[in-house]
Amino acid sequence: MTQALAAALAKEMVRRPLSLPHATVIALEGPLGAGKTTFTGSFARAMGIRKNLPSPTFIFVRRYPLRTRHYRNLFHVDAYRVRSASKKILAPLGILEELKNPKNLFLIEWAGNVRRVLPSATLRVKLSHARNPHERVIEFKQVQ
């Protein structure tokens, strides 16, 4: 179900992209093993990325070119190792500049760790474990 919801969201964003003055950000939150990376991989496949998306835990960010009419790049960010996000940490990586570009799409795992530097309009996806270990609870919320 995680894969199906991620793919449906990606397809909807291709059909009806958000018109924002900055990058579109999908903030993924939840504990270890909740499905953030699974969600990201399924979303990326539905956007036309055929590569396997390894989590960029040690390099922090990976960029994948997109061929949609509205979005040009998908950035996969893993902020697990970032404990205190500040502009000093993110500026050298170019992320702050890329967040300004409305043609960019970001999926950010552990987004709570970088919340202070994200654009105001963000789609929050909270994943959590259900009682059944093979099920997940997924909540979507538009943050303004």
pLDDT tens readout for residues 85-135: 566 667 777 888 999 999 999 999 999 888 888 887 789 999 999 999 888
At a CB cut-off of 8 Å and minimum separation 6, what does 82 contact?
60, 89, 110, 113, 114
Each residue's pLDDT tens digit, 45-91: 999 998 887 777 667 889 999 999 999 999 999 988 776 656 666 77
Residue 133: DSSP 8-state:
T
Mean pLDDT, the chain, whole residue set: 88
Q: What is the pTM of this model?
A: 0.90
Q: How many other C-beta atoms can be found within 10 angstroms of the C-beta atom of residue 10?
A: 24
- Can you give the pLDDT at residue 75? 95
- Do 43 and 140 form a contact (C-beta atoms < 8 A)? no
E strand intervals along 45-98: 61-65, 73-78
Q: Long-range contacts of range 59-62, CB-CB < 8 Å, 24 or more positions apart?
A: 60/93, 61/93, 61/95
Burial readout 51-77 (b: 16 or more C-beta within 10 A, e: otherwise): eebebbeeebbbebebebebbeebbbb
73-78 and 61-65 beta bridge pairing? antiparallel
CATH code: domain 2-143 is 3.40.50.300
Q: How far apart are CA 130 and CA 134, in angstroms?
A: 8
pLDDT of residue 73: 97
pLDDT of the residue at 92: 72
